[in-house]
Amino acid sequence: MGVMKIAVVGYGVEGKSVVKYFGKRKHEITICDINGEIAKLPEAKSRNFSWKVGPHYLNNLGGFDLIFRSPGIPYLKPEFNAIRSQLTSATKYFFEKCPCPIVGVTGTKGKGTVSSLIYEMLRRVEGGSGGQKINRVFLGGNIGASPLDFLDELKPGDLVILELSSFQLQDLNKSPFISVVLGISEDHLDHHKNLDEYIEAKKNIVKFQGTADFAVIDADNEVSNSFAKDTKAKIFKVSLESLIGDGCFIKVGKLIFKRGETGVIFGEKNRVGLIGEHNLKNILAAGAVANLLGVPVNIIEKATREFKGLPHRLELVGEKNGAKFYNDSASTNPSTTIAALRAFNTPTILIAGGSEKNADFSPLGLEIAKRKNIKTVILMGQTRGRIESAIEKACAKSPRPDAPLELIGADSYMEAFMVAKMLATSGDVVLLSPACASFDMFKNYAERGDLFRNFVLDAN
């Protein structure tokens, strides 16, 4: 391969990984980003790269051999229409070059938890023998490292687990060996042109599978379940309700993996490390993958008990005066906040609101109206008015005179945290589960969650 001219569109985590990967191969790289400030970074002084920053960063991209689009740059931007034959991404390039099997996990939410739990199960048998020998396990994608960071290390006997967002799946033409499709609901409508286009992007995780591949699919979610008709892979479904065919389910409190006429128990519903019904589904999905890969049942069961989840996902960050404070900042859409609310039956103070993604908040309003344990909702951010309106409309249809609901507005997250702390009494749950992205006030949801955690830990 001779020297190529490569454009990297978007200089975030994935863009920097692309620059590092191709930079050490001495290719000509041009970094394109709307943010003019990045030209002031120390690496901008390097003679190895060219920089194209500011509002016209997408102009005149026709002279490049490869154009790497970062996930945050919409695939359907009209500026890409003329150069789609050169357009790629770090994820697409990785799929083309990866020498070992890939387990890919997608869904609207839960994919980080499931990817990490699969990793926890499999790393316990690294170098050992299961149903198939796995030398080393790597975790990356939308969580952890960009896959290009470890591409050069991979050997055929290794295994890669990738958390895959719709942004990363959008231009794939190759699917994983094992695809996991969790629940899919409305999200990212600020990025995708509509819900149908968002769903179509997700489908690429199963669309190119063959008959030797596997698809683990949430059977309780109508959209996810429909993906079964789009794959040639052997299908294993997960369900909390009922199960026909192969897959994972719960019966008399036991977590069961069924394949053909046989089944194995790999855990107990009341002895898992994660809280919430939605996390039971996540555990079933991870258990299905581990069973398919031959991980011994005792190791799977031990992982389900010991895995306590990821930061910012129903994370218990502290207890003050008998009230428990949970950081669920990664809940950036209404459906995941609904799932978080369903995890608690004790009196709950909800902190919600954030930046706009054009989500429909009416289901969240209905959930809050019917859950009489929710005593206060503290709202802030760009979406404050729309969430408040959705709650008020739902409460008007279903009044709760025996369980009054208090709605409080706050001008900042710090104000919201302070109000929640003052209102919380012994036995309460204070839940930061915003149902929205964070970009009106923060760099990302992690920064928002860290602020909440630090507030709780520092509070007297």
Q: In this predicted model, what pLDDT tens digit does every residue of 68-108 receive, in sequence order?
A: 999 889 888 999 999 999 999 999 999 999 999 999 999 98
Spatial CB neighbours of 165, under 8 Å, sequence gap ≥ 6:
71, 106, 111, 141, 142
350 phi, psi to nearest 5 deg: -100, 135
Residues 16 and 150 in one domain: no
- How confident is the model over 197-210, as pLDDT tens digits? 889 999 999 999 99
Residues 320 and 385 in one domain: yes
Residues 97 and 28 in one domain: no
Residues 84 and 112 in one domain: no
Instruction: Out of 288, 306, 324, pick the residue that ends a domain.
Output: 306
Instruction: Out of 34, 54, 88, pick the residue that ends a domain.
Output: 88
Residue 186 — pLDDT band, cuts 50, 70, 90? low
Residues 329 and 453 in one domain: yes
DSSP codes joined into one string, 113-160: HHHHHHHHHHHTTTTS-SSS--S-EEEEESSSB-GGGTGGG--TT-EE
Residues 53 and 119 in one domain: no
CB atoms within 10 A of CB 450: 17
Rounded distance between C-alpha atoms, residue 420 and residue 95, angstroms = 46
| 40 has pLDDT over 90 | no
CB contact at 8 A, 215 and 234: yes
pLDDT at 68: 98
Instruction: Out of 289, 306, 323, pick the residue that ends a domain.
Output: 306
Would residue 441 be called left, alpha or beta, if left means φ above 0 and alpha means ψ between -120 and 50 degrees?
alpha
Which residue in the block uniquely carries the two structure tokens 């929710």? 374
Give bridge partners of residue 374 from the DSSP assignment: 348
Query: C-alpha angle 420/362/422, rounded to 5°?
Result: 5
Spatial CB neighbours of 300, under 8 Å, sequence gap ≥ 6:
121, 266, 267, 287, 290, 291
Please tell me the total count of domains within the chain.
3
Residues 245 and 279 in one domain: yes
Residues 358 and 295 in one domain: no
Indicate yes or no: pTM above 0.75: yes
Residues 148 and 222 in one domain: yes
103 phi, psi to nearest 5 deg: -105, 120
Percentage of the chain modeled with pLDDT above 70: 96
Q: What CATH number is associated with residue 326?
A: 3.90.190.20
How would you class 170 by CB atoms within 10 Å of its CB: exposed for 0-12, middle for 13-18, buried for 19 or more? buried
- The amino acid that residue 322 corresponds to is G
Q: Which domain holds residue 372?
A: 315-458
| 298 has pLDDT over 60 | yes
Q: What CATH number is associated with residue 194?
A: 3.40.1190.10
| 132 has pLDDT over 70 | no
Residues 283 and 335 in one domain: no
Which of 15-29, 70-84, 116-130 is predicted with the least confidence, judged by mean pLDDT?
Answer: 116-130
Chain centroid to Cα 203, Å, comes to 16
Percentage of the chain modeled with pLDDT above 90: 80
The total number of residues written for the chain in this structure: 460
pLDDT at 145: 86
Residues 202 and 224 in one domain: yes
Q: Average pLDDT, whole number, for the chain?
A: 93
Rounded distance between C-alpha atoms, residue 335 and residue 321, angstroms = 30
Residue 362 — pLDDT band, cuts 50, 70, 90? very high
